[in-house]
Amino acid sequence: MHIPDGFLSTPVWVGMWLITLVIVGYALRKTRGRLSEKHIPLMGVLAAFVFAAQMLNVPVAGGTSGHMLGGVLTASLLGPWSATIVMSSVFVVQALLFQDGGITALGANIFNMGLIGTVFGYYLYVSLSKFIPKIISAGIAAWIAVVLASAFCALELGLSGTVPLKTAMVAMVSIHTLIGLIELGITMGVLGVIMKRRPDLMEIEKV
């Protein structure tokens, strides 16, 4: 799902950069002075896990690829704003050091693959957990976040004229509907292990 340079028109990539910078800036402000000694190592572990998980790519039509995202999993443990910093850091490293996604498209990639999960996905998870168990809520939110991220990616490509919108939407959403099920399973599996062996991690203040 990483969009390369040259795939987005200037108005689209500039607009996505502006939106992403506002949200990440807000996340930095919300977390300033609030991260405890438990947050920092957990953020590092989650960043490493997400980075490794995203190395497994599935080719998708239109020049893009699909993979696990990890935003909801990260946010369910850290909270939306700490998770936003983690996910943004992962995508910056991928773009700068591994050329995985373009620099001009980085704002869109962070928004699509990170912020949708860490912000929208987190609050969906919280809302669902009022009615169903947390582990199931997180899995459902993770699946929806993946599908929604693929739809935004397709929309950006379509608006840029890179791929016909219908073609991009069908290709991206269809494959990520299945990839989302994998993310659902991984999210629930990881949280299940944590709840059983380290339930204290679930009680860390969500920032």
Q: What CATH number corresponds to the domain at position 101?
A: 1.10.1760.20
Mean pLDDT calculated for residue range 61-66? 53
Mean pLDDT calculated for residue range 192-200? 88
Residue 5 lies in a domain: no
Residue 51 lies in a domain: yes
Residue 149 lies in a domain: yes
The rounded distance, in Å, linking the Cα atoms of 49 and 139 is 17
Residue 123's domain comprises 10-203
pLDDT tens for residues 158-183? 999 999 999 989 988 988 888 888 88
pLDDT tens for residues 129-163? 999 999 999 999 999 999 999 999 999 999 999 99
Residue 93 lies in a domain: yes
**Residue type, position 62, single letter:** G
Residue 87 lies in a domain: yes
Q: Count the domains in the chain.
A: 1
With 0-12 CB in 10 A as exposed, 13-18 as middle and 19+ as buried, what is 66?
buried
* The predicted structure's pLDDT at residue 91: 94
pLDDT tens for residues 2-61? 899 999 999 999 999 999 999 999 999 999 888 777 788 889 989 998 888 877 766 655
* The predicted structure's pLDDT at residue 156: 96
Phi, psi dihedral angles at 21 (to 5 degrees): -60, -40
Residue 4 lies in a domain: no
The rounded distance, in Å, linking the Cα atoms of 17 and 76 is 25
Residue 32 lies in a domain: yes
Residue 148 lies in a domain: yes
- Ramachandran quadrant class, 6 (left: phi over 0; alpha: psi -120 to 50; beta: rest): left
Residue the block writes with tokens 């073609």: 167
